[in-house]
Structure 1
Amino acid sequence: MSAHLLVEARTAIRTRRSLQVREKVRREGEERWKFALENAGQGVWDWDIEHGRLSYSGLYAEMLGHSLEGFDPGAGAAFARVHPDDLPRITAAVEAHLAGHTSSYLTDLRLRHRDGHYIWVESRGKLIERRPDGQPKRIIGIHTDITARKRTEACLQQSLAELERSQSVAHIGSWSRDLRDGTMRWSKETYRIFGLPPDTPLSFDLGLDFVHPEDVAAFRHAMARACRESGLQEITYRLVVQGRVKWVQEWFEYTMDDDGSPQAVLGTIQDITPIKCVEDELRVAKQLAESANEAKGVFLANMSHEIRSPLNAIIGYVDLLSRELTHPAHKRKLVSIRDSAHQLIAILNDILDQSKIDAGRLDLDAKPFAIEGLLERLLRQFEDQARHRALVLSVEAPPATRALVVSGDEPRLLQVLGNLVGNALKFTEEGEVTLRLECLERDAGTARLDFSVTDSGCGIEPAMHERIFEPFTQIDSTMTRRHGGTGLGLSISQDLVEAMGGRIRVDSEVGRGSTFRFELALPLAAQAAAEPVPRRAAPRMPHFGGRRVLIVEDHAHSQEILLEMTEALGCVADVASDGSEALACALGQPRYDLILMDMQMPAMNGLEATRAIRRLPAYRTTPIVALTANAFSEDRRTCLDAGMSDHMGKPVTLTQLAGVLADWLPCAREDTAPDAVTAPALPPQTRPPALGEALHLRRFIDTGRADLARLGAHVEAGERAPAKALAHDLKGIAGLLGAHRVAALADEIGQALHAELDSAVIRYLAGKCEASFAELDAAHRDDTA
């Protein structure tokens, strides 16, 4: 072989080896590059444009749920995996790059996974080789799975949108200021508060220009103080925005660098103009409410009078008829009427007590009383009720505690204990109710007493333990409908106990009963100062031997009752319907020995009539007794100041009237028992409707159904006020007659009207009420058949 050929062979061998080394190095570099990319979570692809084929790394295939063996290498398949919405974007990016407009391309897109869902990828690509004619030949790139990042970004965007929405709803904006370069950032709501478009250039002076001139100094002072002091700062001031004053409340805080210098300040700003308006309205409303307290008292006095007048008639007739009727069934009906009337009086008293508490007019009258007497009165008050319900009512108190004589408001304390014992009996179906009294501590001048009432009743849900002491809150509406009540008893009791220096608390478990407990520190009093405990004695009824009495009353039933009562007590009575008639009677002859004067009457009321009668020489000292439902002590003083001699609350019983007459008139004799006085029976046509049961029930069914139809017509016409009045009247009459289902439904209709519920609800309740009327009608027809 010639030397020349040998050199060429050696050169070729070296060249081949060099190429092999470079190829090896290239392959190793590519392998390292692919390894690095795949371990970084990036899939590699290589697109041979000239032949329309793509090659992929294993991780790229795995991203899309494929294996390399089953992965279609065609370019068409690659673009088919792109989400239709993203295909125009990626196509445009690749084409612009291949055309030489960009050095590489970068875009986000969605690729379809093997199971059908899409993943987000960040696609980077670069052309690495062109053909001799300049056409693109080969492009390589990487895909990075950014699905998690996209989800995070979506959550962040949603959070930002919710934050902006929350700021808009609450009228609270946020802001920040970088003290190093003075840049400021406002949220959208902050721009809205200042009435500026969101692209307005910001500066500290810009915001300061909006501050009300009278508040600029306070604003600057607050900012300076916040810079000196660490922690959150607050300031309330006014802005003037587009000629209108806005109240804003700002909270802000400075952030400091390592050397303690202020670096930035960030805060929130809230538009509190509506709150300020409400505060102003509340101040005005408070002033109006305070000035209306007296008017409220007058209204309640009127209401009391209007309610007690018919109750006076009911209780009076019951009192009289119970002395005439002997049939057991009639007696039971009279007892039912009496109990219903007294229940109404209890409700009325609760409402008036709550009114006095609200008006701050609840005064305590401390006097000496014996604990033994208190317990005796309480037992006497509830022993019949407990016996009727087959419950054991007991009092547990050590003899030393029973023997105590203390100073306090015994009637109010009896009212509290009566409420607690009455509730315990009401909500206990079987078992016992126990009042316990214990002297926890005693020194020379004070006894600290613990009162508790325990029952074995239904118990109270834990969530209700605090709420039951709120006014008009009841434990269970179903039980309340069955047993009655206003929801005021516990609230009033709590107020009374707090006025005495204590607080009621309750321990209860559903199904196992309840214990109500309170402690009072009461001053000790001398034994002789206590009033004796009244004992049961045979009642005695006076007879007044023809004394002349004038009854001044505008209510027809009350006239009949008082007339019959006074005649039953041996008096001769005349009736006047108002003050002017009373004055005319007083001017006649012969003169009256006593005048019973109603307070509220048309034309001339009781006070005016009393003053006019007192100016007559013959009546300057004649006893004039007020008949009124006014329950406040100042009302009694008003009667006395007008010249009246005494005050008698409605409803009036025969015994009560006899006691008042005995105080002012000498009686001819005393009968040993009330039954000895024979009252003339009322003529049938003058008997009150409540006692003509069949006729009255028939009338109630007919008129009640007609009223219910009128109520529905008012509702359909959008006339809710007269509909509420009809529901109220229907409830009252039905309750008085014992039609409890109708009364309960009428109550629900009234509440629905008050709450302005949809007419469909009212129609539904009215339909149920009509069905109850139908049942009542059928039962009545069966009874009278």
Structure 2
Amino acid sequence: MTDCEHSLGCDFARSMNRDSDANSPHRLARDLQRANLEVLAERKRSVELLAELNRTQSELSRVKSSATLETDSRLQAEVALGESQERLQLALDAAGLALWDCRYPFTDVYLSARWGELLGDIALEGNWRAADLVERLHPEELDGLRRQLRRVLDGEVQRTSVEYRFKAGEEWVWLEAHAMVAEVDLRGRVTRLMGTQANITKRKQIEEKATQALLMAEQASRAKSEFLANISHEIRTPLNAIMGLNQLLLGSQQSNEHRQWLQLMDDSSRVLLNLLNDVLDFARIEAGKLHLENIAFPLRPLFESTSKTYLEQARLKSVDMKVYMSPELPSSMLGDPLRIRQVLTNLLSNAVKFTPAGGQISLSVDASREAGLVKRLIFKVADSGIGIAPEQHKAMFEAFTQADSSTARQHGGSGLGLAICATLVKAMGGRIRLESSLGQGCKFEVELPVKDISLPKSDQKMAPQTVAKADVLTDRRFENIRVIVAEDNTVNVRLMRDALRQIGCEVRVARNGDEAIKQWREWTADLVLMDVQMPGVSGLEATARIRELERRMQRPPVPILAVTANAMAGDQEAYLAAGMSGYVSKPVDFPRLFQTMSKALETRASGEVRDTQPSEGHAIYPASTRKRNAHIQQTLERKTKSLQSALARRDPTAAQLELEALVEALSALRAERVLRICRGLEMARHAGEWGLFARAFPLLEAEIAALIGQLGSGTVGGT
């Protein structure tokens, strides 16, 4: 078949060899028509085949393109993942962190290569048995690590961190681990943990050095405080004799010339005492042991008595001093009268010291009001003295600073006064300002927040009053009062004995604590003046023994006053905790001593009357008060028993909590004495002095028992 025949789809030779009928024109035309139809059909099939082929090629091209895109995306993702992992590794390396990974059942742990670098052991990489790693943990940290791990596995936390020691070779290194939950199953159970480790050995070494340095600093501070306390005691003891004997001489018949000499001695002694007090106050401030009272006191008497002293000093120096007190002043306020007086004293003392003859000093005391209520107390001290240059104002409130070196030579002083003033004013929530220029005098303005209260007249009568020196040794309130003086210093013994005898007291002397106890047993004393630091049995121990004997023998408690040169913060609370009734500091100020003695004797007398014969006015009281008092009684009884239990266990945390609860209950009663005993017990607990705590606790029990009795009888009540 020719190519043409093949393309047309027929065999011409075969067709031509047929019979004549087959070669007739009609037959030929029919055959040609059929051939054309077949050719068309074949062509159609070819076109369809070609189209199918094109479609297949297009699909193959699309699939190829899709595969190419997918391959490119996968390659890009792999590249990005590699870069991310590289960045993570760089970050871990930069932070000095190693990775660990642990899956359920947590028997194996994967460690990254960084572990070996951190610990100097290249073997610490790859999969490790958890038990093998546990063997290298420090025994002291094992329990803590287990507790933290258990919290994570129990679902309490999703993340945690812990510091522990790990054995690396022959050394222990400190590691800091951070862990997180990486996977959980359908039931919420943790199935995978991951985390990082960091070697913190150097940091721990630095912290240890810092801790040691802090301990050394604290020890040095304690040593300094002890030194100051001791040196204070050593200075105050002879100073007490000098000032006391001087007062005895001033109270006797003397010529005018001799009296002037004695007055100069007295003034010089007081200057020395003020310097000593400044140093001690600064030491307290530096040690963070400054304690502020928050008690009610009448305001005007404080400023009147303080200014009176400096009015006389100014007059003697030919300086005109004026005092103005606003009628708007509250009658009384809550605060620390001793510290307010100290600030005022420092400012007035400087004004008198630096103002020349013919100059002027003024003290003004005022109050600012808001909405009709007194909110701030303002007092100003101005003088026409030497003044202070503006550039030195800030430095004047710094310790050991004076305007120039010639100031100390000409006027004396420690340079601590204004620094102490600034600290005290700030501690009381106030502020102090200075206005001055060289040669133009100074003006100090102090503002203090005020809580205005009203004191009953009876309380105002009990406010401290200044006793004139001339009347000190002619006071006959103490006629035939029996006093035991426990004192080991011979000069102080003679001083106290002579002073007490001059006011009518009967005196017996004890040279140590044992003798004081013996005198108390053999002689019915009305009062004991007890030195604290004595050879053998100390004053504190003697007091505790006397209190115990009083309970056993059912004798009424005798007032015991601490008379000591110890003047550091916390001394008073410790003495009260030991069972003492009050505190007088050496050098003894006789007006203050006699006032304290009088108050102690009056308290004892009123206590005896109250216990045996309660007044009818207090025997019946409202049901609401009875209910409130009954609740306070129950609280006091319960907390006292809990505190006793904490004491038996020597549990400092429980003791602190129970003391705080007791203080809260007692604050409603304003039971100041019992509150002071609680503060003393708190100091003993904080210092770990369980012996003192145990000796003082029976005193607290007795005081609370008496208080509970008064609550029941209605002689006291909650506020």
- TM-score normalised per structure 1: 0.46
By percentage of residues, which structure has more helix? 2
